[in-house]
Structure 1
Amino acid sequence: MMRNNDLKNIIKNSFYLYLVQGLNYLLPLITLPYLLITLSSEDFGKYSFAFATSQFLILLVDFGFNLSATKKIAENSESKIKVKEIYWNITIIKFFLLFISIILTLIGIFIFDKIYFYREGIMMSMVMVLGTTLFPVWWFQGLNKMRQLSFINIISKLVTYPFLFLFVKKSTDSHIAIFIQSLAILVAGIISIIYIYNTHQFYFKNIRLKERKVYIDEIKESWLIFLSNSSISLYTNSLTLLLGFFSSSYNVGLFGAMERIIRVLCFGILGPMNQACFPVIAKLKIIDFEKAKKIFKIVLLGTFLIMLITFIFTKLFQNIIVDKFLKEYSSSSDLFNVFLLMIFPIALGGILGQLGLLGLGHELQKKMFSRIYTIVGILSLPISILLIYYFNVEGAIYSMLVVETIIFVSMFYFTRKYKYI
């Protein structure tokens, strides 16, 4: 039976997570328009390509530890010695993976001419990968220190992001923009280490390397999570990278600009809504499943109506958006029309999957959720390569539309199959 203190902790942690997510979605609303206006089309392409590259490297360095290590620490939270051991095991593995990511990046830069063209931005984005290595999000989550995690995230971004407006002044300042945004993650990592050192000084005494098998076992435990996350990343980040290989930085910038605008429109609303509703539905389903389903249906309908209003509002101001933020890109208006259609499958697919299959579901539904992303992610790669190779930026846009629609239809099918709607 749930105690009052447990419920209070859940509400508090949900609130702190909502603060972090709210800030994460608010900042792009402020910084993205500025970068689109300031940077040239080619430099915004460099900016987009560098960030897409860093997301793959971060995926490698994280390796699913944000779930597996969080669970392990939570299960052993009463044993300080065990938690210390897990902390150093994961940290050492992450530094090893950081070393591999640096080697892979250098090899890619010097072997592929296309990657060499984006080298400056990619090297700047490595600061973000280093910050991810230092920042033990899994430690804070496992020990239920969401308030501290939230404050570290907020402080690091508030301290660094204003420098974007101070130092990104020229159309060729994409490398500075990348560095400043990457610096936010590094600052968060440094603050977290200082915090852990001040509150858990014994962590930093008698540090010893373990047998190789210990680290291999940790990697094995996260392997399936890593595969699932990799599949999702294949369709979310690969389009920008593929455009960088098969097309020009102009097209990378055009695709990156429109994709970011659409994702800000979707996730600026969808992200906080998911964060606020997920814990409510997940807890309520145990007590009153029918009521939880009712809330889910209301949120789903509400999301559709909000997206419809967003679509109409954006269409009314489309000429202003295109003239103000996409003025360097010819024929962007027609392509933006296609992109704008994606807000429906992206938003509704997200609600159906996260609040439906994950929120209302159990292990079977969770596996189905993961399987959808894994299968679609793997199958999308050859389709994306062909479409981008032959049709450039148009191919990337239609590939994204097809993938997002398939995910939405799949989530809708299984949500109906399990009688959640």
Structure 2
Amino acid sequence: MSKKNLIKNIASLSVVQIANYVLPLISIPVISRVIGPDKFGVINYAVAFIAYFNILITYGFDLTATRKVAQDPENIALRNKVFSEVFQAKTLLFIISCLIFTICLNFVPPLKVEARVAIFSFLFCIGTLFTQNWLFLAMQDIPKVALFDFMSKLLFTVAVLLVVQHKEDYVWQPLITSLIQIVVAITSFTWAIKRYKLKMRWVGLDNIFALLKSESVVFFSFILINLYTTTNVIVLGLFQTPENVGYYTGGQKLIIVAYSVISLPLSHALFPYIGRAFAESREHGLLLVQKIIPLVFVLTGTLALGMFIFGPWALRLFYGPEFEPSVFVFQLLVFAPMFIAMGSIFGVQIMLNLKMDKLFFRITLTAAAISICVNFLLVKQFGYVGTALNWLITEIFIATTMYIFLRKAGLNPINLKWFHPRSFKEQLDPLLARFKGRKLFLSKE
């Protein structure tokens, strides 16, 4: 894939993330004042809990299936095989999720008290079942999906503003979110079948279980990542009031927006790009990573500084005076996206592309175990501030540990040569030429 296509895909994925997070934030200045911190916390607790089921259904296929198809995207037989295996495996995982959720609904107090919010939030999993992001990533056919998703989220924002008029209307927000996701997912699923001429074939339970077993390391790694991110909210909700959950998630949400608009598109677009470079040779892949890291570091660092300065003003504008405690949470977390981005490059872009899945798993397992233990202590001592502090410390630990183990394996992902201003110019010139409409040229290797 050329740099021209890479830039195009990063831009398209950024549009997707803006649609997913920034457009809904347009409604927050109105909704947060209507429902208040307590109901805001109720909704975000349910969303955090349902995230476990979304991860179970996705099962890391956005990386593992992408990796398979991206190596030979024109192979129709391979494409059909992976498509059939992934969808049927996700269907089985969705059925299992329904059973587990039914049990949780009766035994987890916060879910039982707000059953309608929990059920409406769980409907989102139907959309997850039909979402085939891995296929679009592998085929590098992202721009059309970006535009479609943008329009859908625009409709979501309008619908929420029209429906949520009173405090008791908070229950309809997760329902609208889920219904929009279902419509988008089924439509894109149908479009993908026609676009790529896909044919669904029954692969058999034996093959499904074999697939789940072979991809289990990556899946459990993502579960562990969720343990030190989403579980923070779950633990906070068990020991603190819904208002405190609202204060934490109020600050956290804007941080997630920043990560989703900048770091996540880079990660998704770069994974197949860097994967092909590593497929050519280990040296070529490592060189590409060394050239990309300075750009990501400066981009996320500048973003963090800007958020630290202007973020409190934006947060007060979004949420109103009732969410004033969220400001300190936000300022604690502004540098988290930078460490997440670095950890993603070290772990996802290098370790997974080099099939170092077990090392990736061990590091995330260690981080998750430490994070959970520390989180219980910090939440009891400092409440929602402790939750924020725990997340930041965990991300720093992960990025640092992954870098150390890569160096021990003889891989140096950071070369200070590429931090030189002249090297920056070599990498940025193609970007500037692209956005000015001139012919895109490749920087020298």
Given the alignment of the two structures, is residue 258 of structure 1 paired with residue 254 of structure 2, yes or no? no
Partner of 1:349: 339
Q: What displacement does 1:76 show?
A: 6.1
Inter-CA distance 293–90: structure 2 relative to 1 (3 Å threshold): closer
- Give the letter for the 1:181 counterpart: T
Distance (whole Å) between structure 1 residues aligned to residue 167 and residue 73 of structure 2: 50
Q: Is the 8 A contact 1:39 1:171 kept in 2?
A: yes
Matched, 1:57 2:47: no
- Tell me, what secondary structure is at the counterpart of 1:161? helix
**2: CA distance between counterparts of 1:305 and 1:101?**
40
Alignment of 1:20-419 (within 5 A): 20-74=16-70, 77-199=73-195, 203=199, 207=201, 209-265=202-258, 267-271=260-264, 293=290, 296-297=293-294, 299-314=296-311, 317=313, 321-322=315-316, 325=319, 327-329=321-323, 332-333=324-325, 336-344=327-335, 346-355=336-345, 363=354, 371-389=362-380, 391-410=382-401, 418=412
CA distance in 1, matches of 2:95, 2:240: 30
Q: Distance in 2 between matches of 1:287 and 1:76?
A: 19
Change (3 A) 1:172 1:94: same
> Which sits farther off after the overlay, 46-55 or 353-362?
353-362
**Within 2, Cα distance between the matches of 1:71 and 1:277?**
12
Distance 1:302 1:199 in 2: 35
Q: Secondary structure at the match of 2:106?
A: helix
2:210 partner letter: D
Q: Greater shift after overlay, 49-58 or 249-258?
A: 249-258
2: CA distance between counterparts of 1:266 and 1:70? Answer: 21
Offset at residue 218 of structure 1 (A): 1.2
Structure 2 regions of 5+ residues with no counterpart?
A: 417-445
* Change in 2 beyond 3 A, CA 1:148/1:269: closer
Paired AA for residue 214 in structure 1: N
- Give the TM-score, by structure 2 length: 0.78
RMSD over aligned Cα atoms: 3.6
Mapped to 1, the partners of 2:152 and 2:340 lie a distance apart of 28
The size of the alignment, in residue pairs, is: 407
What displacement does 1:310 show? 2.6
Letter paired with 1:247: Q
Task: State how far apart, in whole Å, the 2-side matches of 1:322 and 1:11 are.
Answer: 34
| Matched letter for residue 13 of structure 1 | N
Which AA in structure 1 matches 2:49?
T
Moved more, 126-135 or 187-196: 187-196
Determine the C-alpha separation between the residues in 2 that align with 1:108 and 1:289.
Answer: 45
**Alignment CA distance shift 1:121-1:169 (3 Å):** same
Could you tell me the percent identity over the aligned residues? 25
Maintained 8 Å contact 1:358/1:365: no
1:366/1:310 CA distance change after superposition, 3 Å: farther
- Provide closer, same or farther for how the CA distance between residues 281 and 25 of structure 1 changes in structure 2, counting only shifts above 3 A: farther
In structure 1, list runs of 5 or more residues that go unmatched: none
Query: TM-score if structure 1 supplies the norm length?
Result: 0.81
Partner Cα distance (1:127, 1:281) in 2: 35
Kindly provide the amino acid, as one letter, of the partner of residue 314 in structure 1: G
Give the direction of change, closer, same or farther, for the CA distance of 1:202–1:407 in structure 2 (3 Å limit): closer
